[in-house]
């Protein structure tokens, strides 16, 4: 059996599992991506990234909103984060999607034919001219798909380009720094919830070519935006300038593509519910807990903090 096609599909499924959390962080649970609670978007009172807090009588959950990417080896003030983790009950990571290696291999073998374009057409035979031209305007190092030879379906090709942009741009996820600090502080680490990525992979295989092309263009849009904004957004985050941080996380074409899939929208709402449930469970235990999440889900009008405040919990902003 040739390994190229199953392995490519396996890679795409894994790409979905890494890309979806990023998109989930950048979009609130509303059709309007700009629907936020303005009073929650304030500059941090202390140096370093901003923290929001949710409290009841004897417990408190500190919440740090993080960008999905920061430049590799970026230095940021970890002092306050270390203080929060000292003696904390735990660190809660954002909800995500994933797939086990064995499960992904079986999925890849079963659906390998749906991964490629009908008739083995290449991407340059499917994508509209304007999309090809836009792709070719990316810096050469980011053009990781060969449109003249690749027969992979456009959305999978777009996911691959977006995922490779992380390596090409030397971007890192700040969660890794925070997890390292939590381990050093001997704090328990857990994820709010995990969902299988395979239903997403199944859904995107059935997209018509026109929608596939739009999604490829959407991922190019996300890469273009990342090249320009990863550094400035990370700096605003690290300095506690919440409004500028928030402003750099507006919805991209990739968000619109992924959230046009019903399965993803359903997962997003379940993720919100899981994170709120996890926060409330943490508040049942006296003491403090640290949680990290995306900034838009946190401050959206129907987001995490708004829902908890409606349920009677005390919410404090980074200015407090």
Q: Sorting pLDDT into bands at 50, 70 and 90, what band is 11?
A: very low
Task: Work out the average pLDDT over 50-60.
Answer: 95
Q: Sorting pLDDT into bands at 50, 70 and 90, what band is 48?
A: very high
Q: What is the pLDDT of residue 32?
A: 56
Pairing of strands 91-93, 287-293: parallel
User: Is 26 or 71 the better-scoring residue by pLDDT?
Assistant: 71
267-303 tens-digit pLDDT: 778 888 899 999 999 999 999 999 999 998 899 888 9
Q: Is the pLDDT of residue 130 over 90?
A: yes
In which residue are the tokens 């960008």 written? Answer: 67
Q: What is the pLDDT of residue 93?
A: 94
Q: Is the pLDDT of residue 307 over 70?
A: yes
DSSP annotation of 94: P
**Residue (of 99, 42, 39, 98) closest to 65 by Cα position:** 42
As a whole-number percent, the residues of the chain with pLDDT over 90 amount to 54
User: Quick one: tokens of 282?
Assistant: 């943490």
Q: Is the pLDDT of residue 155 over 80?
A: yes
Q: What is the pLDDT of residue 197?
A: 79
Q: What is the pLDDT of residue 12?
A: 44
List beta partners, residue 62. Answer: 53, 290
Pairing of strands 189-191, 51-55: unpaired
Q: What is the pLDDT of residue 279?
A: 96
Q: Is the pLDDT of residue 3 over 80?
A: no
Contact criterion met (CB below 8 Å) for 142 and 161: yes
Task: Work out the average pLDDT over 26-52.
Answer: 77
Q: Is the pLDDT of residue 196 over 70?
A: yes
Q: Is the pLDDT of residue 143 over 70?
A: yes
Q: What is the number of structural domains in the chain? A: 1
Lowest mean pLDDT among 133-147, 239-253, 256-270: 256-270
Query: Which phi and psi (to 5°) does residue 142 adopt?
Result: -95, -5
For the chain, give percent helix, strand, coil, nearest 5. Answer: 55, 15, 30
User: Is 253 or 305 the better-scoring residue by pLDDT?
Assistant: 305
Q: 3-state class of 191 per DSSP?
A: strand
Rounded to the nearest angstrom, the gap between the alpha carbon of residue 27 and the centroid of all alpha carbons in its chain is 9
Q: What is the pLDDT of residue 113?
A: 82
Taking only Cα atoms into account, the Rg of the chain, rounded to an integer number of angstroms, comes to 20
Rounded to the nearest angstrom, the gap between the alpha carbon of residue 282 and the centroid of all alpha carbons in its chain is 23
Q: What is the pLDDT of residue 239?
A: 96
The contacts of residue 96 (CB under 8 Å, 6+ apart) are 17, 20, 21, 24, 191, 193, 194, 195
Which range of residues forms the domain containing residue 84?
Answer: 4-316
Q: Is the pLDDT of residue 88 over 90?
A: yes
- Pairwise CA distance, residues 317 & 62, whole Å: 10
Task: Work out the average pLDDT over 141-150.
Answer: 93
- Pairwise CA distance, residues 15 & 3, whole Å: 18
Q: What is the pLDDT of residue 8?
A: 38
Q: What is the pLDDT of residue 27?
A: 46
Contact criterion met (CB below 8 Å) for 131 and 21: no
Q: Is the pLDDT of residue 246 over 80?
A: yes
- Pairwise CA distance, residues 320 & 316, whole Å: 6
Contact criterion met (CB below 8 Å) for 87 and 182: no
Q: What is the pLDDT of residue 53?
A: 97
Beta-strand ranges (E) seen in the chain are: 51-55, 59-65, 70-71, 91-93, 96-98, 171-172, 189-191, 194-196, 287-293, 314-316
pTM for the model:
0.85
Q: What is the pLDDT of residue 58?
A: 92
User: Mean pLDDT over all residues of the chain?
Assistant: 85
Q: Sorting pLDDT into bands at 50, 70 and 90, what band is 34?
A: low
Beta-strand ranges (E) seen in 49-182 are: 51-55, 59-65, 70-71, 91-93, 96-98, 171-172
User: Quick one: tokens of 225?
Assistant: 């935006």
Task: Work out the average pLDDT over 248-271.
Answer: 75
């Amino acid at each position: 059996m040739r390994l190229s096609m199953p392995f490519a599909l396996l890679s795409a499924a894994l790409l979905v599992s890494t890309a979806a959390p990023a998109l989930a962080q950048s979009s609130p649970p509303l059709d309007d991506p700009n629907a936020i609670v303005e009073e929650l978007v304030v500059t941090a009172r202390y140096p370093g990234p901003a923290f929001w807090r949710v409290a009841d009588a004897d417990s408190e959950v500190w919440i740090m909103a993080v960008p999905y990417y920061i430049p590799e080896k970026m230095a940021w003030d970890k002092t306050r984060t270390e203080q929060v983790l000292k003696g904390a009950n735990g660190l809660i990571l954002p909800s995500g999607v994933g797939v086990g290696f064995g499960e992904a291999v079986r999925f890849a073998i079963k659906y390998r034919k749906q991964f490629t374009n009908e008739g083995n057409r290449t991407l340059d035979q499917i994508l509209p001219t304007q999309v090809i031209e836009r792709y070719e305007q990316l810096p050469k190092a980011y053009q990781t798909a060969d449109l003249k030879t690749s027969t992979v379906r456009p959305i999978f090709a777009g996911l691959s380009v977006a995922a490779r942009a992380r390596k090409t741009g030397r971007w890192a996820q700040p969660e890794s720094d925070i997890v390292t600090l939590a381990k050093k502080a001997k704090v328990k680490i857990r994820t709010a919830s995990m969902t299988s990525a395979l239903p997403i992979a199944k859904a995107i295989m059935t997209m018509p070519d026109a929608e596939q092309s739009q999604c490829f263009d959407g991922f190019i849009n996300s890469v273009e935006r990342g090249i320009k904004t990863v550094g400035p957004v990370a700096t605003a985050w690290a300095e506690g300038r919440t409004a500028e941080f928030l402003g750099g996380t507006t919805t991209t074409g990739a968000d619109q593509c992924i959230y046009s899939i019903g399965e993803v929208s359903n997962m997003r709402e379940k993720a919100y519910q899981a994170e709120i449930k996890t926060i409330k469970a943490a508040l049942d235990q006296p003491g403090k807990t640290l949680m990290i999440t995306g900034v838009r889900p946190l401050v959206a009008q129907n987001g995490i903090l708004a829902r908890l405040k409606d349920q009677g919990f005390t919410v404090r902003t980074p200015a407090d």
